[in-house]
Amino acid sequence: MKTAIITGGGQGIGRVTTQYLLTHGYRVAVWESDTDALIELREAFKASSSQILFVSCDVSSETNVRKAADQTINHFGQVDVLINNAAQMIEKPLDKLTLDEWNRVIGTNLTGAFLCAKHTVGYLAARQGCIINVGSTRAFQSEPDTFAYSASKGGILALTHSLAISLGPNVRVNAISPGWIDVSNLGKKAKGKGDELRPEDHDQHPAGRVGQADDVARMILFLIAPENSFITGQNFIVDGGMTRKMIYV
């Protein structure tokens, strides 16, 4: 049985991907910094307790990542897949965004992916494994005041091809860049539910709908499948066609 690590697996895309991995025969180590989200995930997945490991980990901390890797190996004995999904966003005007806030976002979204790769690469190489970095279409286009998030996701794409060239052929590395993915009902209870989607939210997408976390999880399963071993160093946009749409006001 293969083992996958997913960072930020307690909520949103990460939570759904965790479910997909479990139902497709993977053992999963969820690395999550949000204690409440981790507790809720443990309760939700208690029926699969033998296949899942819950690890409290801030991926921006090398000490945390090293300990999480050791804990995962001690528990499962191997790592076949690393999914760098943990991310945060701070939306502020440029003159209001502090350096600490900038560093916090870059630390989680970009440095975290580097650290997780660094401390699992030996295990991944031993298993001819793979890494999936979750990026964003914000690497190509922006809404106002998302400086650190957009920069971090641009960095993820460059990190992806750098890792692919450096680690191949023993480790494959690809990225997925989601667009608008509705995760309004996939957060911890304290967050509550987000706004209801409107018909115009769906209609503006060439695919006819806003994305779901399942759309990203299915792409992850496709890319980590052994039969797709010829794919590496690539970025796959999952956005319902929005980055191909010319909009004139």
Is the pLDDT at 143 greater than 80, yes or no? yes
The average pLDDT across 154-177 equals 98
Q: How confident is the model at residue 246 (pLDDT cuts 50, 70, 90)?
A: confident
Sheet bearing 130-134, strands edge to edge: 52-56, 27-32, 3-7, 81-84, 130-134, 172-178, 235-238
Q: What is the mean pLDDT of residues 73-91?
A: 98
The partner residues of 84 in beta bridges, in order of sequence, read 133
**For all residues of the chain together, what is the average pLDDT?**
95
Q: Please indicate whether residue 123 is annotated as part of the active site.
A: no
Instruction: Identify the pLDDT of residue 191.
Output: 66
Q: What is the pLDDT of residue 94?
A: 98
Confidence band, pLDDT 50/70/90 cuts, at residue 40: very high
Segment 225-244 mean pLDDT: 97
Domain ranges of the chain: 3-244
Instruction: Return the percentage of the chain with pLDDT > 90, whole number.
Output: 92
96-113 average pLDDT score? 98
pLDDT in the model for residue 248:
80
Q: Which CATH superfamily is domain 3-244 in?
A: NAD(P)-binding Rossmann-like Domain (3.40.50.720)
Selecting among 20, 123, 149, 248, the annotated active-site residue is 149
- Residue at token pair 């992916």: 113
Q: Is the pLDDT of residue 192 over 80?
A: no
